[in-house]
Amino acid sequence: MTTRLLRARLLSFLRRPDSVDDRGSYRYEEDGGLLIEDGKIAAAGSYANVAALAPADVETVDHRPFLILPGLIDTHLHFPQMQVVGSYAANLLEWLNTYTFPEECRFVERAHSERIATHFYDEMIRHGTTTAVAYCSVHKASADAYFAEALKRGMCMVGGKVMMDRNAPQGLLDTAQMGYDETRAVIEEWHGKGRNHVAITPRFAITSTPAQMEATATLAREFPDLHIQTHLSENHDEISFTLDLYPEAVDYTDVYARYGLLGRKSLFGHCIHLSDREADAMSETGAVAVHCPTSNLFLGSGLFPLKALARREKGVRMGVATDVGGGTSYSMLKTMDEAYKIQQLLGERLNPFESFYHMTLGNAEALSLAHCIGTLEPGTDADLVVLDASATPAMALKMEVVRSLTEELFLLQTMGDDRAIHETYVAGAPMKSALT
Ligand code: GUN
Ligand code: ZN
């Protein structure tokens, strides 16, 4: 049994903070102790109290003056797009056709999929991300590589073989039947193995025929506990092309609703341009809108109305994500920096506590996984990030005048990136310092 005692400042959320003064929304321990046993948090609290519970010969790691939070969670990105990041395109559809689809064709090769999977998990660890939700490519080999590497590293990962059978190059198309069969094969091989979760993954309505959407509907009925992920309402040309392809639908959200794809395990990337009717359909079904700020700015897709959606009578459930390679950074800190700026442009405020809530408990709730990740609660998995707000000379200089936790979090979000991640623990094991 591996037992470890960590000493640092601790921050963990209990619910979404309403304001910077919402002290009841989080637990903060100035001199904190975290006892880890067999990959899980055994106790968390003041160092004095937790140290008293630890065995005499426990290995103690002193992370003072750093800040320990639950590991960061990224609820939408594309594992086969690591070499697409920073591709010069005018908009979403041009970016997909010119750069992204050709690149994803390479994942038919097992060796290429495995090589990129190694880099992918290295970047997750480097950036403090301990759980991510990824689209693989259409090829089963890409999903195999993705889940095999997660298993090797003991990480809690969600992912899916993409289903797409039209409007893309031949090398990137399955068929309705193949998409169904291979998704079932991925579920049987990987779901529940280690900490892996398989998601049903139709790319978006444009790249699936009605026959393939029927196949996703069948999968959703056969595996009601699985996550479903797709894209929704990202770009105006995408929306009008979708409505041409599905003329019977009243709007884009209705395309997915008609196939029974709206529910509490459904993750919809982007959701920038939803009508009131669509937002209502999302809240009524508990479907999750996943905000991808660096991608939305990079592709010029639009400004996600995060605050307006949260304020609705029945709020829309929400996640935040990098969307690499439309997104430009693996860092959830950078992601929330850009999310903040988008709200500024909309005349709204996103407070730093809210940002860190979203990266941790908020995203765990969006995935319905808060019982095992996203907090420092005893009994949950010991996936942790150790943050250093003085990681660079410029950050250290700014830290000289920082007077509160609010200011420190805001500095981390505004100036931080992978350099601010001092250590990343996965199931209690230090992973970042172990990277070669
Ligand atoms: N819509 C369909 N596929 C994609 C993708 O790979 N990235 C983004 N940002 N949007 C999409
Ligand atoms: Zn995406």
212-222 pLDDT, tens per residue?
A: 999 999 999 99
The residues, ordered by sequence, that sit 6+ positions from 416 with a Cβ below 8 Å of its Cβ are 331, 333, 334, 387, 389, 391, 395
The answer to whether the CB of 204 is under 6 A from ligand 1 is yes
pLDDT, one tens digit per residue, over 273-307 is 999 999 999 999 999 999 999 999 999 999 999 99
CA of 84 to the centre of ligand 2 (A): 12
Which of 74, 75, 84, 92 to mutate to test ligand 1, by most ligand atoms within 8 A of the CB atom? Answer: 92
The answer to whether the CB of 380 is under 6 A from ligand 1 is no
Contacts by 53-62 with C-beta closer than 8 Å and gap 24+? 54/3, 54/5, 55/3, 58/3, 58/4, 58/5, 59/3, 59/4, 59/5, 60/4, 60/5, 60/6, 60/7, 61/4, 61/5, 61/6, 61/7, 61/430, 62/7, 62/8
The answer to whether the CB of 326 is under 6 A from ligand 1 is yes
Q: Which residues surround ligand 2, an ion (CB under 5 A)?
A: 269, 323
Task: Return the pLDDT at 2.
Answer: 84
Task: Return the pLDDT at 38.
Answer: 97
pLDDT above 90 (res 203): yes
pLDDT above 70 (res 18): yes
The answer to whether the CB of 103 is under 6 A from ligand 1 is no
Which of 76, 203, 242, 301 to mutate to test ligand 1, by most ligand atoms within 8 A of the CB atom? Answer: 203
The answer to whether the CB of 190 is under 6 A from ligand 1 is no
Which of 104, 234, 252, 328 to mutate to test ligand 1, by most ligand atoms within 8 A of the CB atom? Answer: 234
Q: Which residues pair with 421 in a beta bridge?
A: 387
Measure CA of the first residue to CA of the last residue in the chain; give whole Å: 26
Q: How confident is the model at residue 1 (pLDDT cuts 50, 70, 90)?
A: low
The answer to whether the CB of 323 is under 6 A from ligand 1 is yes
Task: Return the pLDDT at 288.
Answer: 98
CA of 326 to the centre of ligand 1 (A): 7
pLDDT, one tens digit per residue, over 391-429 is 999 999 999 999 999 999 999 999 999 999 999 999 999
Helices assigned H by DSSP within 154-203: 176-190
Mean per-residue pLDDT of the chain: 98
Cα(409)–Cα(202) distance, integer angstroms? 36
pLDDT above 80 (res 124): yes
CA of 166 to the centre of ligand 2 (A): 17
CA dihedral 418, 295, 135, 226 (to 10 degrees): 100
Atom of ligand 1 nearest to the CA of 238: 1
Task: Return the pLDDT at 302.
Answer: 98
The answer to whether the CB of 100 is under 6 A from ligand 1 is yes
Looking at the CA of 87, name the nearest ligand.
1
Would you state the structure tokens that stand for residue 403, as one six-digit string? 């007077």
CA dihedral 324, 253, 202, 207 (to 10 degrees): -90
The residues, ordered by sequence, that sit 6+ positions from 344 with a Cβ below 8 Å of its Cβ are none
